[in-house]
Amino acid sequence: MPVNLPELDPSQLHPVAGVELGIASAGVKTPGRRDVLVMRLAEGSRVAGVFTLNKFCAAPVRLCREHLGVRGDIRALVVNTGNANAGTGLDGLARAQRICDALAGHLAVQPQQVLPFSTGVILEPLPADKIVDALPDAIADLAPTHWAEAARAIMTTDVAPKAASRQVQIGGKTVTITGISKGAGMIHPNMATMLGYVATDATVSQAVLQKLAKWTADRSFNSITVDGDTSTNDSYILIATGAAGNAEIADETSADFVAFRDALLAVAQTLAQAIIRDGEGATKFMTVNVEGGKSWDECKAVGYAIARSPLIKTAFFASDPNLGRILCAIGYSAVDDLDVETLEVWLGDVLVAEKGGRAASYTEEQGQRVMQQAEITVTVKLNRGSEAATVWTCDFSYDYVKINADYRS
């Protein structure tokens, strides 16, 4: 069961003016499953995206990059679950293109104004015809209120749907930010995430939107890991319809920019953390704070070394304060000139290690007390600079093995 992931309350998901969502059943993998999502965007919407750096990136990711490169006026997104259309070569590209063509025809836009997405098993041909056949039903279902249904439609091994919503005042106007995400395994995003879609009715310049896509991804989806596997299909899409009527956010020093950026980050972080709370087999939610580094990159490297370690993750599963494993991971993280004598390791509010060894004040009882909790924070103070970074992860349980040994069957 997900770790402290509140049940989705559709009434808490504010519609975003200019965005409609429609769901249909194509039976890509499971007959009857509502597995296709279409998002229609009002004319004038701006879209920015960041995508996986995996060289075997999926066919739809390649088309997304191409379409976003050609023109800014994206009018629709189409997502299927059940098949990733990755490792499918030129044939996979043709199939993704066919879906864009069909949706563009229905909506009377150009195929390059459509962004396609797929998630599911890799190396299998995408049943594009089934998806094309389901498009009319999805279009008939289009409504601004279907965010919760959309979150459900894009799930794979997720146990629970993931969504977040927030409203903020920008220049006297109420601006809405609502997003959905999916993902539970093959999670170690690199520049992007599994699938994350965040829409706002704010008016934002294209340059600021693209910059914020990267900035918020780095601090949310790019700061999580379940298993260290960077997916072939990671995509994070930011949509700004401009329907809120605020003065365009273009100046990065303005109070409006800061208010909008912070609200956007809060939504993106909630969505990214939801993926970890629903991580495959997760029983614990772990926050790894690394402070006092010389750079954000080195803090992130230390954080990820801890968050990726199967030895640490199994110890957390067992609620066993086997904390030497944390020191070990810090020691092999890629920070070349690290001085182990000056750093500190904290488990919750308990000082565990300092001066290269166990803290004199530490007792096994203190460690046990923190390890029993469902949400645990590990803090590493590098004490050599002023930068900080946070990484979120989950523990490693029998169920992770079970889920991934069974996934295709």
Q: Which of 117, 144, 254 is closest to 199 using CA atoms?
A: 144
Is 319 within any annotated ligand binding site? Answer: no
Compute the distance between CA of residue 120 and CA of residue 79 in angstroms, rounded to an integer: 11
What's the min distance (Å) between Cβ of 291 and a copy of itself? 18
- Tokens 């939504």 found at: 267
Q: Where in 390-409 is the site for a copy of itself (CB under 8 A)?
A: 396-398, 400-402, 404-409
Residue whose CB is less far from a copy of itself, 15 or 321: 321
- Active site includes 193? yes
> What is Dmax (Cα atoms) for the chain?
71
Tokens standing for residue 43 = 């004319």
Q: Which of 335, 376, 378, 391 binds a copy of itself (CB under 8 A)?
A: 335
Q: Is 156 flagged in the annotation as binding?
A: yes
From the CB of 399, what's the least distance to a copy of itself, in Å?
9
Question: What six digits make up the tokens of 139?
Answer: 């279009």
- Nearest-angstrom CA–CA distance, 59 and 351: 48
User: Which amino acid would we find at residue 177?
Assistant: I
Q: Coil, strand or helix: which one is 211?
A: helix
Candidate ranges 1-9, 172-180, 185-193, 237-245; the one touching a copy of itself (CB under 8 A)? 185-193
Q: Counting contacts by CB under 8 A, is residue 217 touching a copy of itself?
A: no
CB neighbour class for 399 (10 Å; exposed up to 12, middle 13-18, buried from 19): middle
Does 121 sit near a copy of itself (CB under 8 A)? yes
Told to check if 223 binds a copy of itself by CB under 8 A, we report no
**Shortest approach of a copy of itself to residue 156 CB, angstroms?**
13
Binder of a copy of itself out of 20, 35, 124, 149 (CB under 8 A): 124
Active-site hit among 52, 193, 283, 393: 193
CB nearer a copy of itself, residue 270 or residue 393: 393
Cα 44 off chain centre by: 26
The residue type found at 404 is: N
| 374 is an interface residue for a copy of itself by CB under 8 A | no
CA neighbor of 85 nearest in space, from 242, 8, 1, 195: 195
Nearer to a copy of itself, 90 or 108 (CB): 90
Binders of a copy of itself in range 272-311 (CB under 8 A): 308-311
Distances (CA, A) of 396 to 225, 282, 315, 321: 11, 7, 8, 15
Q: Are the C-beta atoms of 350 and 371 separated by less than 8 Å?
A: no
Q: Would you state the structure tokens that stand for residue 279, as one six-digit string?
A: 């991580």
Interaction of residue 66 with a copy of itself, rule CB under 8 A: no
* 318 touches a copy of itself by CB under 8 A: yes
Among 113, 231, 235, 379, binds a copy of itself (CB under 8 A): 231
**CA angle, corner 163, sides to 404 and 316, nearest 5?**
45
Report the alpha-carbon distance of residue 106 to residue 181 in Å, rounded: 26
User: Binding-site residues, please?
Assistant: 156, 182, 193, 280, 404, 409
Question: Which sequence positions are flagged as catalytic?
Answer: 193
Q: Would you tell me which residues interact with a copy of itself (CB under 8 A)?
A: 53-57, 84, 86-92, 121-124, 185-186, 188, 190, 227-232, 308-311, 314-315, 317-318, 320, 322-325, 327-332, 335, 338, 340-341, 353, 355-358, 396-398, 400-402, 404-409
